[in-house]
């Protein structure tokens, strides 16, 4: 895609709550800078895994922790003061927040009628699925506030709440894909003591303990259901091993240990939990899988993009934006959430028909390469900026994953 520089330099202030993650925001900033946008980024601190990459983009970085201080509410006045001072110093044309907490803090700090347009690019639907947080989002917004849903699911939530369609946009979060086809490196087999003839089923997810205040009784990513489903599969097939990559942080480690005990009991040593791994190794692990499983309580599009990029047959629960990527019978298989027996049956179906599901995964691979290409999605963001700042500039057309998948399917059938 050819980059089109802006006719007038736009100064955008991006606000994130972490200096270690949010790779999708980092990649977006890099393309926007190359498109001619003057990007300023507010982060809690100027050290962390994301900082070297952000420095390379040419964006201006500011140390400002603008997230809601839920565990330290007495510091909230300082957060509000820091937000006002930063906006006064940067003088942005537009403010772009990537998290619920930072969005709420900015709205309270600046007031509903602040002159600078604010965009909340919504990374996931979780807060929209609970009335308290959904109402906070809607009622704190002023006339200059707009939303970018990073899936059609999220856009639909806002429209259902009566938000004006002119203030809601669609743009999937993009990433920078490595060149070439992902290949097996052998690290997963060697670290697990597996044989090359074994089929690998599992996932790679952070481990989040249940949020009791949201009514959760299992972790957000439903590791319990995955473990129980794998136990049922292992009873039917002796050539399968379960692999779960990812771990918990801080106080969540007690929950991770509980899951490890469950996996050992259910799988009798055939469900391996590898804990946290470097992002590069996680990406390299996907070609080793024969079936990826992602069945969370709530999700946007995460957890299925990387396995499909690697051409791995993928099963996902019918929640959030997952069905915009994993489409039953087109790019993968979907199941009802919180149903280990149905999940086990789906895994067995995929393993019994691997050639068919690998063909679907190849279609899914083409879908995610385009849908989540940051060079494409950042152009949408730039066009949204221009439209918000000048209503005579047309808004970008919405990317339709179903329509794009249909075109890929027709092309595949034509070559059969």
pLDDT digits (tens, 9 = 90+) for 199-217: 999 999 999 999 887 778 8
Chain segment 143-171, per-residue pLDDT in tens: 999 999 999 999 999 999 999 999 999 99
For the stretch 287-338, pLDDT in tens is 999 999 999 999 999 999 999 999 999 999 999 999 999 999 999 999 999 9
State mean pLDDT over 204-231: 91
Distance CA 132, CA 213 (A): 12
CA distance 262 to 260: 5
| Same-fold call for 11-176+373-400 versus 187-370 | yes
Q: Alpha-carbon distance 189 to 195, whole Å?
A: 7
State the pLDDT at residue 250: 79
Give the sheet arrangement for strand 145-149, strand by strand. 60-63, 38-43, 11-15, 94-97, 118-122, 145-149, 168-170
Angle between helices 340-352 and 354-371 (to 10 degrees): 100
Rounded to whole angstroms, the Cα distance separating 179 from 416 reads 27
Q: CA 167 to CA 159: how far, in whole Å?
A: 10
The answer, yes or no, to whether residue 1 has pLDDT greater than 90, is: no
281/275 Cα distance (integer angstroms): 12
pLDDT of 3 > 50? The answer is no
Q: How is residue 169 written in tokens?
A: 């946009």
Question: Which residues are within 8 A (CB) of 415 and not within 5 positions of it... i.e. 6 or more apart?
Answer: none
Q: Is the pLDDT reported for residue 189 higher than 90?
A: no
Neighbours of 416 (CB within 10 A): 5
Range 175-184 average pLDDT: 74
Q: What is the mean pLDDT of residues 343-356?
A: 98
Distance CA 351, CA 345 (A): 10
* Class (C level, CATH) for 187-370: alpha beta
32-36 contacts at long range (C-beta below 8 A, 24 or more positions apart): 32/378, 32/381, 32/382, 33/57, 33/58, 33/59, 34/3, 35/3, 35/4, 35/5, 35/6, 35/378, 35/379, 35/382, 36/5, 36/6, 36/9, 36/10
For the chain, give every domain's residue range: 11-176+373-400, 187-370
Residue with tokens 């979780």: 126
CATH of domain 11-176+373-400: 3.40.50.2000
Q: Is 209 helix (H, G, I), strand (E, B) or coil?
A: coil
Supply the pLDDT for residue 83.
97
Determine what percent of the chain is predicted with pLDDT higher than 90. Answer: 82
The pTM of this model reads: 0.91
Q: What is the pLDDT of residue 192?
A: 61
pLDDT-based confidence at 2, cuts 50/70/90? Answer: very low
Q: Please, how many CA atoms are within 13 Å of residue 218, restricted to the half-sphere of its CB?
A: 18
Give me the pLDDT at residue 180, please: 66
Which pair of tokens denotes residue 66?
Answer: 């603008």
Q: How many CA atoms lie within 13 A of 353 on its CB side?
A: 14
Q: 250-289, pLDDT tens digit by residue?
A: 778 899 999 999 999 999 999 999 988 887 788 889 999 9
Q: Strand locations in 268-416, DSSP E? A: 271-275, 291-294, 314-317, 333-335
Higher pLDDT, 55 or 2: 55
pLDDT in tens, 27-70: 999 999 999 999 999 999 999 889 999 999 999 999 999 999 98
Q: Are 11 and 92 in contact (CB under 8 A)?
A: yes
| CB distance 262 to 227 below 8 Å | yes
């Amino acid at each position: 895609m050819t980059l089109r520089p802006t006719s007038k330099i736009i100064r955008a202030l991006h606000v994130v709550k972490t200096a270690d993650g949010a790779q999708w925001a980092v990649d977006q900033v890099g393309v926007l800078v190359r498109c001619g946008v003057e990007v300023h980024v507010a982060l809690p601190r100027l050290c962390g895994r994301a900082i070297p990459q952000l420095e390379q983009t040419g964006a201006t970085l500011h140390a400002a922790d603008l997230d809601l201080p839920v565990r330290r509410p007495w510091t909230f006045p300082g957060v509000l003061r820091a937000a006002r001072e930063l906006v006064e110093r940067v003088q942005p044309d537009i403010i772009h927040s990537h998290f619920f907490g930072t969005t709420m803090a900015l709205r309270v700090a600046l007031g509903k009628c602040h002159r600078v347009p604010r965009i909340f690019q919504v990374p996931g639907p979780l807060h929209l699925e609970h009335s308290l947080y959904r109402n906070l989002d809607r009622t704190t917004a002023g006339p200059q506030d707009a939303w970018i849903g990073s899936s059609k699911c999220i856009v639909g939530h806002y429209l259902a709440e009566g938000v004006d369609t002119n203030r809601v946009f669609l743009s999937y979060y993009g990433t920078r894909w490595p060149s070439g086809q992902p290949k097996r490196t052998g690290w997963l087999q060697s670290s697990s003591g597996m044989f090359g003839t074994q089929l690998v089923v599992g996932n790679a997810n952070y481990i989040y303990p249940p949020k009791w205040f949201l009514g959760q009784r299992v972790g957000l990513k439903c590791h319990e259901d995955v473990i129980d489903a794998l136990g049922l599969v292992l009873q039917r097939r002796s050539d399968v091993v379960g692999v779960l990559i990812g771990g918990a942080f801080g106080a969540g480690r007690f929950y991770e240990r509980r899951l490890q005990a469950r996996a050992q009991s259910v799988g009798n040593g055939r469900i391996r939990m590898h804990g946290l791994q470097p992002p590069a190794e996680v990406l390299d692990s996907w070609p080793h899988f024969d079936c990826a499983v992602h069945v969370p309580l709530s999700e946007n599009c995460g957890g299925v993009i990387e396995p499909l990029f690697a051409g791995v047959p993928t099963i996902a629960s019918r929640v959030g934006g997952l069905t915009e990527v994993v489409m039953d019978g087109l790019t993968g298989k979907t199941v009802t959430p919180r149903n280990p027996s149905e999940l086990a049956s789906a895994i067995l179906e995929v393993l019994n028909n691997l050639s068919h599901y690998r063909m679907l995964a190849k279609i899914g691979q083409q879908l995610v390469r385009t849908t989540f290409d940051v060079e494409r999605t950042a152009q949408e963001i730039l066009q949204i900026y221009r439209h918000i700042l000048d209503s005579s500039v047309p808004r970008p057309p919405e990317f339709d994953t179903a329509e794009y998948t249909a075109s890929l399917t027709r092309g595949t059938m034509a070559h059969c």
